[in-house]
Amino acid sequence: MGHPGSEGTGHAQLPPGQRRQRGWPVTHYGPVPRFRPDRWEFRVFGATADGDKHCWTHEEFSALPYETVTADLHCVTKFSMLDVEWGGVPARTVLELAPPAPEATHVMVWAEYGFSSNLRMSDFDSGSTLFATHRAGELLTAEHGFPVRLVVPHLYAWKGPKWVRGVEYMTADRRGFWEERGYHNVGDPWREQRYSYQEEPGEGPEL
């Protein structure tokens, strides 16, 4: 499942300090946004290769190639859900259709109400990073991020905004919502990168 030590066991292991959660709790800050299809668009902007914005309506986004990824979700509050089947549009598809400029090193993923999370381009451009529209073959519910949420299986789950509306390609790193509020800039659960005070030089912009 893409992390050291799990190969060949057929079973995901829990990262340090995590416990297994059965069922699917709802965890987020703020209210659940209402989906308005006529106003919704998925926007890629910032340091794009051609300098233009790329926008998809909900209908267009829903028609992009669909793939599934089975992955674990690790919340920094210490619960993990194992073996979740997500379906949706791979981040790599977005990178192909709306390519970044060569100088783009990071992305900011933007969601409703200005929620955001920053990622290194290498984390965004990972084979298992997915803009999920479905879980276990069913459309996401409103509280779990309908119509689109990001899933970055190898990072803590706050790095995957629900209700995503866009991606900003950046030529330098900048902190997102939780990264500005004390959470680690990288957020690797296997290294227990929970809080910003744990950051080593080079792991995040000055606080």
Ligand X SMILES: Nc1nc2c(c(=O)[nH]1)N[C@H]1C(S)=C(S)[C@@H](COP(=O)(O)O)O[C@H]1N2
Residue 24 beta carbon to ligand X: minimum distance, rounded to whole angstroms: 6
Break the chain down into helix, strand, coil percent, rounded to 5: 15, 30, 50
Q: Judge contact between 90 and 130, C-beta under 8 A.
A: yes
Pick one of 5, 6, 20, 25: the residue that binds ligand X (CB under 6 A).
25
Measured distance CA(1)–CA(73) in Å, rounded: 12
195 binds ligand X per the rule CB under 6 A: no
> How many other CB atoms sit within 10 Å of the CB of residue 61?
20
111 binds ligand X per the rule CB under 6 A: yes
Measured distance CA(194)–CA(182) in Å, rounded: 9
Please, is 81 exposed, middle or buried when counting C-beta atoms within 10 Å of its C-beta (0-12, 13-18, 19+)?
middle
Residue 132 beta carbon to ligand X: minimum distance, rounded to whole angstroms: 10
Q: E strand or H helix at 120, and its extent?
A: strand 116-120
Residue 158 beta carbon to ligand X: minimum distance, rounded to whole angstroms: 4
Pick one of 58, 154, 162, 194: the residue that binds ligand X (CB under 6 A).
162
Pick one of 14, 75, 84, 142: the residue that binds ligand X (CB under 6 A).
75
163 binds ligand X per the rule CB under 6 A: yes
Pick one of 100, 153, 160, 166: the residue that binds ligand X (CB under 6 A).
160
Closer Cβ to ligand X, 28 or 174, answer by number: 28
- Of the candidate spans 60-68, 89-97, 124-132, 159-167, the one that interacts with ligand X by CB under 6 A turns out to be 159-167
Of 99, 204, 90, 103, the closest CA to residue 150 belongs to: 90
Pick one of 82, 107, 157, 170: the residue that binds Mo ion (CB under 5 A).
157
> How many other CB atoms sit within 10 Å of the CB of residue 64?
17
Residue 158 beta carbon to Mo ion: minimum distance, rounded to whole angstroms: 5
- Scan residues 40-99 and list those touching Mo ion (CB under 5 A): 75
DSSP secondary structure string for all residues of 58-111: HHHHHTSPPEEEEEEEE-TTSEEEEEEEEEEEEHHHHHHHSPBPTT--EEEEEE
Closer Cβ to ligand X, 24 or 190, answer by number: 24
Q: Applying CB under 6 A, which residues contact ligand X?
A: 24-29, 75, 111, 115, 144, 157-158, 160-163
For Mo ion, the binding residues (CB under 5 A) are 27, 75, 157-158
